[in-house]
Amino acid sequence: MGEFGALLGADGPLAEAVPGFESRREQQEMADWVGEALLEQSVLAVEAGTGTGKTFAYLVPALLSGRHVIVSTGTRTLQDQLYHRDLPMLARALGRPVRVALLKGRSNYLCRHRLALAGHVGSLPGFEVPSARSLKRIQRWAGLTRSGDVAEVTGVRDDDPVWPVVTSTRDNCLGLECPEYARCHVVAARREAQAADIVVVNHHLLLADLALKDEGFGELLPGTEAVILDEAHQVPDIAAQFFGLNVGSRQGVALVRDTLAELARTGHLGEPLRERLHAIEGAFAQALACLGSPRERIEWAALPDAFIEALHTAQSALHLLVEALAGTGSDDSGLRQCLRRAETLAENLQRMLGFAAEEGIRWVEVAGRGFTLGFSPFEVADRLRELMAARPCAWIFTSATLAVGEDFTHFLGRIGAIEARTLRVASPFDFERQALLYLPRGLPDPSDRAHTTAVLATALPLVEAADGRTFLLFTSHRALKEAARLLRGRTGFEQRYPLLVQGEAPRESLLRRFRELEHAVLLGTASFWEGVDVRGTALAVVVIDKLPFASPDDPLLKARLEGIRRAGGNPFYDHQLPQAVLALKQGFGRLIRDREDFGVVAICDPRLRSRSYGRLFVGSLPPARVVDEGEEAAAFLRRRLAEAGAAARALGTA
């Protein structure tokens, strides 16, 4: 055991200083590998099974390395946990004072200039106006806050229309020309980050910085000696967003809104300029009308000609606005920024309309009252490799799901780091004792229309044996809706087992109610397959309807598959299969989150037995005992719940 592992041992300083600390051999091994990678400034990928304690395993060597470290996470929840809880606690326990900064994307910070401009926005017709109550609440808070982090504000919904009005984007930020630059919260956060020893960011912000699409001022990475990416399995998909191009109708509408406000403020809002702005708004509205009802994604080839014509009209209208704004002769910083935004939007529309088929894949996504044009190159691995090579420092990638079996080739290929060192640390949990993997026989093929009905028939005896306490995880929204309808049609089901359905309330609200109710049944799709932590007896059953192969109609997936095909690879075996294996590992991982957890994971896909690749899926899952009889799985649940109840009663009377 090395020096970092020793610190995490039973006799180390953390055992005494951290409440509930548990010495784990797996955690100590990971800490030593991370420490070595930091020392050598090498590339390391670590798969750390659930319960390893990987957060401490990378934070301890990072704190003691003396290096300037960026820690990037996939979720805001983990970002806040690292900054507010884990890092301060570890620094105290290790006796190592450290300067830590939390850095979020600019939309998380109040923009003082736009707050001052909000009065002009509110006086203009045709826009969703923030409520006076929300605006006053933010104005009062603005006079008190030091960080400007909008998470401090209570009583204003996340989707309140006030937020786009009082926060900035990369497009509308005035930068050095802003009259509030000296008091800018984004600038202050960046300065604090550049002076810190450890900076906690998220993957979107880090990759925006890597792709030179800066969300603040100045790059994060110069001077950085190590980058640690937790929840690293998300990185390739997020990277694809930043190495492609996205142009949205909301950008056009926001440009119109902000330009109207700036023109009104400066006294330049005449009828000719108003008409130019309305022409832009009208062109984007016409394009949206051509798309009909919202759909997840529409391929470029399937778009109607009228939609493409409307985009050309919007591009022409933007060029006319550029001429008109230039013609005002104003040197006002706000108007100059609007001019630059109009030029950029026109240029991006032109790029989007001009991409050749061999460059990548284009699509349109419709949501609510807007649409987004998307372009993705066929592969991002080369770009990531070039960017890491240009910034020679330690790069450490970690997650509970990086390897297919023992093999990291798929993940390393996607991040362009095929030569990286790898470590797979198994979970310390006793899965043979704590969990059963139930693979029911006789189910119809997943493409069969009766499949969802059969899944519920398989799940219901487990729900009854566990008295609720069940996650039903689906690979499609269609199956989820059908399952919810069928369960609600069962007399008395909801009265006995409260039904919580994704989409009917925010995710965190559904999870909170699931924990509180104890006997609930929760139905979820992709967002519940990972990042969900329910410990104890509130969750005892996870039912997965199908192997999580991504939809072959998704344009982003098509881009990756075509890139693999062009390189001479096999799209199914090189991408679709390993991605599905990793996704299934995430779904299985919802069940056992603690040493005392127990339960059953049921996977209702007959391909696990009928296809040769089924062995790869099962072999990549934790080593739970496999059964194929529903009664055996139900008996396991009844026995373990009875034991847990008896233990709780004994504890209550002790």
Mean pLDDT of the chain: 89
Q: Give the three-class secondary structure for 47.
A: strand
The per-residue pLDDT for range 423-470, each reduced to its tens digit, is 999 999 999 999 999 999 999 999 999 999 999 999 999 999 999 999
In the prediction, which pLDDT does 487 show?
96
Contact yes or no for 526/551 (Cβ under 8 A): no
Q: H or E element: which one contains 227?
A: strand 226-229
> Averaged over 49-75, what is the pLDDT?
93
In the prediction, which pLDDT does 123 show?
47
- Cα dihedral 293, 299, 301, 302, rounded to 10, equals -30
Supply the DSSP string of 69-94, one letter for each residue.
EEEEESSHHHHHHIIIIIHHHHHHHH
406 CB burial (10 A radius; 0-12, 13-18, 19+):
exposed
Low-confidence winner among 53-57, 271-275, 319-323, 631-635 (lowest mean pLDDT):
271-275
The per-residue pLDDT for range 178-220, each reduced to its tens digit, is 889 999 999 999 888 888 999 999 998 888 877 654 444 456 6
> Averaged over 28-41, what is the pLDDT?
95
Q: Give the three-class secondary structure for 348.
A: helix
> Averaged over 28-36, what is the pLDDT?
96
State the pLDDT confidence band at 626, using cuts at 50, 70 and 90. Answer: very high
In the prediction, which pLDDT does 215 show?
46
> Averaged over 164-189, what is the pLDDT?
88
Which whole-number Å values give the CA distances from 225 to 38, 67, 98, 228, in the listed order?
8, 6, 16, 10
> Averaged over 100-109, what is the pLDDT?
90
State the pLDDT confidence band at 612, using cuts at 50, 70 and 90. Answer: very high
In the prediction, which pLDDT does 211 show?
67
State the pLDDT confidence band at 420, using cuts at 50, 70 and 90. Answer: very high
Residue with tokens 């290096």: 67
In the prediction, which pLDDT does 212 show?
58
The per-residue pLDDT for range 543-583, each reduced to its tens digit, is 999 999 988 777 778 878 888 888 889 999 999 999 999 99
Across the beta sheet with 245-248, the strand order is: 245-248, 370-377, 360-367, 298-299
| pLDDT score of 313 more than 60 | yes
**Residues for the chain: how many in total?**
654
Using alpha carbons, select from 209, 212, 216, 207 the residue that is nearest to residue 187.
Answer: 216
Strand-pair partners of 200: 71, 102
| pLDDT score of 162 more than 50 | yes
Q: Give the three-class secondary structure for 43.
A: strand
Q: H or E element: which one contains 496?
A: helix 493-496
| pLDDT score of 14 more than 60 | yes
Using alpha carbons, select from 139, 133, 134 the residue that is nearest to residue 111.
Answer: 139
% of the chain beyond a pLDDT of 90: 59
Contact yes or no for 124/262 (Cβ under 8 A): no
Q: What is the DSSP letter of 599?
A: E
Domains of the chain plus CATH, in order, are: 3-98+197-242+380-425 (3.40.50.300), 106-187 (no CATH), 245-377 (1.10.275.40), 431-653 (3.40.50.300)
In the prediction, which pLDDT does 214 show?
43
In the prediction, which pLDDT does 22 show?
85
Looking only at the bridges linking them, the beta strands covering 370-377 and 360-367 are antiparallel
State the pLDDT confidence band at 170, using cuts at 50, 70 and 90. Answer: confident
Distance (Å, whole) CA 175 – CA 192:
18
Q: Count CB neighbours of 567 within 10 A.
A: 10
In the prediction, which pLDDT does 130 show?
67
In the prediction, which pLDDT does 119 show?
67
In the prediction, which pLDDT does 617 show?
96
Cα radius of gyration (the chain) = 27
| pLDDT score of 1 more than 70 | no
> Averaged over 159-173, what is the pLDDT?
84
| pLDDT score of 13 more than 50 | yes
| pLDDT score of 121 more than 60 | no
